[in-house]
Structure 1
Amino acid sequence: MAGRTSYRGGAGRTALVGLLTGLSLICLYLAFLAPSGKLGVVALAGIFPAGAVVSAGLGAGFFCYAATGILGLLLIPAKSAALLYLIFFGLWPMLKSLLERLPSRVLEWIGKLAVCNAALAVLWFGLKALFLPFLPAALGQTWMVFLAGNVGFVIYDVGFSKLIAFYAARVDRVLRKNR
């Protein structure tokens, strides 16, 4: 995900990470305001740390994630969007970058599914009342939540990879030219 970087240091990197953090925070606030589709808007907020990783490196991605998460907890009235971002969607771009460096696709997917299931376990067993009260009775069974979560995650990860490729080809390329 982060092969080459154009903003390794200085003001350009700081400005880019600040901009991406602001955009991610706006998405978290929109998730708070949205009457439905909150999960999708929080997932959208996770795209911006991926942009930081592609354009400025893994450290910039972690900084964008941490700054957005902290500001989200401080500024957004309903903390569920910020917590969902912190538990999974904001952290995923950096973990994805690290896992995709593994030498084997099998190990990569084992690691990805382990991260997914760890996040699901935290949400299901630790924060169920906050995040999952809307589940239909059919999905009330633990095995159904994990099955649906894993299927959804695989689809999400494939789509996320395509978004990252688009960002690298279109947006990051423009950033490099204008540097």
Structure 2
Amino acid sequence: MQKRSSESRKIALSGVFGSLAAVLMLMGGILPLATYVAPALAGILIVPVAIEFGIKTGYVLYAAIGLLSLFVVPDKEMSLIFVFFLGFYPLLKASIERMRSRAAQWAVKLAVFNACIVGMYGIILFLFPIGAVVEEFESMGIPFTGLLLLMGNVTFVIYDVAVARIIGLYCARFRARLMKMH
């Protein structure tokens, strides 16, 4: 009976956080800035599931939200940002932070960020072009695109620190309350 209760809890909590993440992704099309904010928040919602039930469960939830968002979210750029980086990064962050050297951690984090973002926009621009994004990049030019990538790196560093603090807050304040509910 205990095994069944544990599985039910896992499914219920994963469903709640997955639903919240999916709703965030769907509502992200309302505001232009939400193209980046909605996937960032949706990715953070996967973390409690990974903490409570293991990293594999977190990745399964990420895959489910990613597939769902690719099919139902109208803003495909936002869906791809979730799938290519912001959905799995909060889960990957824990593995990277096991490295002893802080410099090595940041080097790996920045390398992963840049590889994912450049790869994603390469696919959007050249393999499966999204018209509005292609027009936007064509009008910017190379120097402004480089500046945009630099600003993206700065924003990523801020996001990384924010994710660490949100995870700490969850563990310190909300985890015990959430587990008492079940």
Offset of residue 91 of structure 1: 0.8
For 2:103, the equivalent position in structure 1 comes to 106
CA contact 2:35–2:77 (8 Å) conserved in 1:
no
Counting helix residues as a fraction of each chain, which structure ranks higher? 2
1:166 matches 2:169: yes
CA contact 2:58–2:91 (8 Å) conserved in 1:
yes
Taking every aligned residue pair, what percent have the same amino acid on both sides?
Answer: 32
Distance 1:149 1:139, change over 3 A: farther
For 1:18, the equivalent position in structure 2 comes to 15
CA contact 1:23–1:48 (8 Å) conserved in 2:
yes
State the TM-score, normalizing by the size of structure 1.
0.84
Match of 1:42 among 39, 42, 57: 39
Bigger radius of gyration among the two: 2
For structure 1, the 5+ residue unaligned runs are 1-8
For 1:79, the equivalent position in structure 2 comes to 76
State the TM-score, normalizing by the size of structure 2.
0.82
Matched residue count? 171
For 2:90, the equivalent position in structure 1 comes to 93
Distance 1:167 1:139, change over 3 A: farther
List, as ranges, runs of 4+ consecutive aligned residues in structure 1 with deviation greater than 4 Å: 131-136
Specify which structure has the bigger relative contact order, considering alpha-carbon pairs within 8 angstroms and separated by 6 or more residues: 1
Offset of residue 142 of structure 1: 4.0
Give the counterpart letter for 1:113 in structure 2: L
Distance 1:151 1:82, change over 3 A: same
Give the counterpart letter for 1:126 in structure 2: I
